[in-house]
Amino acid sequence: MINLIKKLFTLPSFDNDMQTYTARMLRVVLSFVALLSIIYTGINIANDRANSLRYSLQFVFTIIALVIMVSLIRRGHPRSASIILIFSTWAIFTTAAYTGGGVLSSGYIGYLVILSMAGLVAARPIWTLAAAMLCAGSGYALLYAEKNGRLPIPSVAVDSYSIWLDSLIYFSLVASLQILASRIVLDALRRARLEGQKKQEAEEREKERAKLFQRVIELGKEVTQAEELDWCLKTIHQSIQKGLGFDRVGLFLYDEELHSIQGTYGTDRQGNIEDISHYVRSAEKYDDWHIALQNPNGISLTKNYTELDKNLSPESEMYGVGEHITLAAWAGKKPVALIALDNVISGQPFSEEKIEALRLFAGYAGLAIVNARRLEAVNQELESFSYSVSHDLRSPLRAVVGFSQILMTDFNNSNGDGDSLQYLKKINENGKKMGKLIDDLLNFSRVGRQTLRIITCDNKSIVESIIEQLREKYPNNNAQWLVQDLPTCQADYVMIQQVWLNLLENANKYSLSNQHPEIEVGSLQEDEQTIFFVRDNGQGFEMQYADKIFRIFHRLDHDDELDSTGVGLAIVQRVLQRHGGKIWTNSQPRQGATFFFSLP
């Protein structure tokens, strides 16, 4: 029996939300009507046995109407069922009022039930208004019949007790309907609030997604410009950890010839970058590599890495890891690297947006590694060539400068031809310029070969020492130096000294055009990163040439204006790239220039 009732009241699926709402309301209202009809019939038969047939017929009529309405609902016609409910209820109460004393009977009070039902199940103001007009018209008809003596003699007792007893049922039904209506309103408000929150969260996620993907493009451009493999790998690592916001990152290169996986840079449990080049393993025995290769276009995500490998000791780097990601970085159809990540530091789960951003960035990373390898090989050949040529030219050039100096001395002593002496001076001066150019070329090639010895460097003491050297070298330059407190940095001492020397000497040279030269050296914090700068009020330059000045032999001055070889800023950029840093500039003609650089 219970299963039959459940089956009868199980709702089918509907085409729109309005039909679903009407069907649900009808199911609840019909349940109330059925229950209260049983109670109403039982109470009245017990108190008025003389009219038991009347109450029984009302109950039978109610049950038949309920069965018809349930049948219509199951067949997908809730609107028809709601109309039948309103009119059948109206018919019951109108009959009860007509045979029970007119508008003074308890049946007339039942019209309130009709209005409550109409407002709840019809869900449209027009139906509620129509029901109100129907009840008002019926009430007037009952009043008219009473005034003209056309009402039958009441078949039930019309007294206060009977009316109160019937009103209990009506009030219970109306109260239940009102409670249901209030719950519907509260549920609607709650759903609207939740939908609003979900919409707001979706909009925020979309904004964050767009911001993150824009960040991926910016990071991708940066890594694909890397000319050295080590700098490229370090930039990829930092881009994923700091740029995309992952806890720990492990970056491994794949050697196709040896079929091995070699570590490059990883992250310790404090979130600091660390060298993991000691890690070498055969690709055949590296499970994460095979997992990554199984899905070239996707990501392998492990929700609980510790549960996957329960044999991990507390000393293991992977102990306590929750979510873990592995994916391969591809260049075309060839895998070139493996990227592994986890959330052991923060414990925060990976968001879908961050995972998608990581997948996109891996495409940039694969291409960047291949390009960096190719460019590094070409640059090494060029550096070897430059070193060989420069070294071979130094000896004959020294001879040219030395012999021209001897001839100049002889000419001065013998009062020789003036033109010849000028020619010898030009030979000597240009020979010295060429010697300086060769020295700069050797320094440039040496930067790419020299092993980095990273220590803590006191930038302020380095800058102050270089300023004293420049004052001795250029005694006629009355430049005012403004040096702020400079934080220390982790770098190769000799190389970072070369960076400061080239930048400060560059500022000193190009501020000579100003009658009151002023050079400022300082630092600033931006996005938890220290940025150093050197600012002068010299001749400046157009920003359209900003990229060219860091290329070797590119100068913005004429050859006879300043003692410049066009190599100094190229050396600065190469040093910073090897450290994983970068340099950029901002300038306006005749308003000076500012050079900024950062280190990881």
The model's pLDDT over 521-537, given as tens digits with 9 standing for 90+, comes to 999 998 778 999 999 98
User: How far is 385 from 390, CA to CA, in rounded Å?
Assistant: 8
pLDDT at residue 563 is higher than 60:
no
Look at 50-59, 127-136, 204-213, 404-413 and tell me which has the smallest mean pLDDT: 404-413
- Is the model more confident about 25 or about 282? 282
Greatest mean pLDDT among 251-265, 294-308, 441-455 = 251-265
Q: Domain 451-600 is of which CATH architecture?
A: 2-Layer Sandwich (3.30)
What are the strands, taking DSSP E only, across 458-539?
A: 480-483, 489-492, 518-526, 529-536
Task: Report, as an integer, the average pLDDT of 274-290.
Answer: 83
225 φ/ψ sector (left φ>0, alpha ψ -120 to 50, else beta)? alpha
Q: What CA–CA distance (Å, rounded) separates 63 from 543?
A: 88
The residue whose two tokens read 């039958």 is: 152
pLDDT digits (tens, 9 = 90+) for 150-176: 888 876 666 777 778 777 777 877 777
Q: Are 505 and 469 in contact (CB under 8 A)?
A: no
> Per-residue pLDDT tens for 382-414?
666 666 666 666 667 666 667 677 767 766 666
CATH code of 225-309+316-375, in short, is 3.30.450.40
Under the banding of pLDDT at 50, 70 and 90, the label for residue 45 is confident
Whether the CB-CB separation of 569 and 505 falls below 8 Å is answered with no
What does DSSP say about strands 480-483 and 280-282: parallel, antiparallel, or unpaired?
A: unpaired
Q: For the chain, what is the mean pLDDT?
A: 80
**Cβ 541 vs Cβ 587: under 8 Å:** yes
pLDDT band at 334 (very low <50, low <70, confident <90, very high): confident
Domain extents in the chain: 2-195, 225-309+316-375, 451-600
Residue-level pLDDT at 536: 92
Between CA 223 and CA 369 the distance in angstroms is: 8
Q: What is the pLDDT of residue 1?
A: 44
Per-residue tokens: 240: 């994923």
At 306, is the pLDDT very low, low, confident or very high (cuts 50, 70, 90)?
Answer: confident
Burial pattern 317-326, b for ≥16 Cβ within 10 A else e, equals bbeebbbbbb
Task: Note the pLDDT of residue 397.
Answer: 64
CA–CA separation, 291 and 3 (whole Å): 50
Per-residue pLDDT tens digits for 79-124:
888 888 888 888 888 888 888 888 888 788 888 888 887 877 766 7
User: Does residue 253 surpass a pLDDT of 80?
Assistant: yes
pLDDT the model gives residue 559: 45
Q: Binning pLDDT at 50, 70 and 90, where does residue 558 land?
A: very low
End-to-end, the C-alpha distance of the chain in Å comes to 76
Q: Can you tell me whether residue 26 is helix, strand or coil?
A: helix
Distance, in Å, from the CA atom of 367 to the CA atom of 355, rounded to the nearest integer, reads: 19
Q: What is the DSSP letter of 348?
A: P
